[in-house]
Amino acid sequence: MLSEQKVEELRSQFAALNRQVGDQQAAFFDGPAGTQVPRCVSNAITDYLEQCNANHDGAFATSIESDRWVNEAHQAAADLIGTSDRDTIAFGANMTSLTLALSRALARTWNAGDEIVLSRLEHDANFSPWVLAAQDREVKIRYVDINPEDCTLKLDEYASVLNERTRLVAVGCASNAVGTINPVQKICEWARDCGALSFLDAVHYAPHGLMDVEAWGCDFLTCSAYKFFGPHVGIQYGRRELLESLQPYKLRPSPNTLPGRWMTGTQNHECIWGTRAAIDYLAAIAGDMADGLSRRDSLRLAFKSIKAYEESLFLRLLEGLQQLDGIKIWGITDPSRVHERCPTISITHDRHSPRHVAERLAEHGIFVWDGNYYALPLTERLGVEPDGMVRIGIVHYNTAAEVDRLITQLASL
Ligand SMILES: Cc1ncc(COP(=O)(O)O)c(C=O)c1O
Which domains can be identified in the chain, with CATH numbers?
Answer: 4-37+300-411 (3.90.1150.10), 43-280 (3.40.640.10)
Task: Read off the amino acid at residue 372.
Answer: N
Specify the pLDDT at position 149. 97
User: What are the start-end ranges of the E strands in 232-384?
Assistant: 234-238, 327-330, 344-349, 366-367, 369-371
Q: What angle do CA 101, 246, 58 make, to 5 degrees?
A: 75
Work out the angle between the directed axes of helices 295-322 and 400-411 (0-180°, nearest 10): 30
Q: What angle do CA 221, 132, 342 make, to 5 degrees?
A: 35
Ligand 1 test: best mutation among 204, 224, 372, 376, most atoms within 8 Å of CB? Answer: 224
Evaluate if residue 289 carries a pLDDT over 90: no
Nearest CA, atom 8, ligand 1: 95
Evaluate if residue 20 carries a pLDDT over 90: yes
Rounded to the nearest angstrom, the distance between the alpha carbon of 270 and the centre of ligand 1 is: 21
Per-residue pLDDT, averaged over 80-93, amounts to 98
Evaluate if residue 110 carries a pLDDT over 90: yes
Task: Read off the amino acid at residue 201.
Answer: D
Specify the pLDDT at position 190. 98
What is the pLDDT confidence band of residue 140, given thresholds at 50, 70 and 90? very high
Evaluate if residue 288 carries a pLDDT over 90: no
Evaluate if residue 290 carries a pLDDT over 90: no
Pocket residues: Cβ below 6 A from ligand 1: 94-96, 123, 125-126, 172, 176, 201, 203-204, 224, 234, 374
Selection from 407, 392, 227, 388 nearest residue 321 by Cα: 407
Ligand 1 test: best mutation among 120, 205, 374, 378, most atoms within 8 Å of CB? Answer: 374
Specify the pLDDT at position 185. 98
Evaluate if residue 99 carries a pLDDT over 90: yes
Rounded to the nearest angstrom, the distance between the alpha carbon of 95 and the centre of ligand 1 is: 6
- Give the C-alpha separation, 177 to 271, whole Å: 26
What is the pLDDT confidence band of residue 49, given thresholds at 50, 70 and 90? very high
Specify the pLDDT at position 256. 96
Mean pLDDT of the residues in the chain: 98
What is the pLDDT confidence band of residue 182, given thresholds at 50, 70 and 90? very high
Quote the percentage of the chain above a pLDDT of 90: 99
- Residues whose CB falls within 8 Å of the CB of residue 59, separated by 6 or more in sequence, listed in order: none
- Give the C-alpha separation, 294 to 212, whole Å: 15
Evaluate if residue 163 carries a pLDDT over 90: yes
Selection from 70, 106, 100, 66 nearest residue 86 by Cα: 70
Specify the pLDDT at position 16. 98
**Number of neighbouring beta carbons within 10 Å of residue 284:** 17
What is the pLDDT confidence band of residue 391, given thresholds at 50, 70 and 90? very high
Specify the pLDDT at position 297. 98
pTM of the model: 0.98
pLDDT digits (tens, 9 = 90+) for 216-231: 999 999 999 999 999 9
Pick the atom of ligand 1 nearest to 201's CA: 3
Quote the percentage of the chain above a pLDDT of 70: 100
Residue 157 burial (C-beta neighbours within 10 Å; 0-12, 13-18, 19+): middle
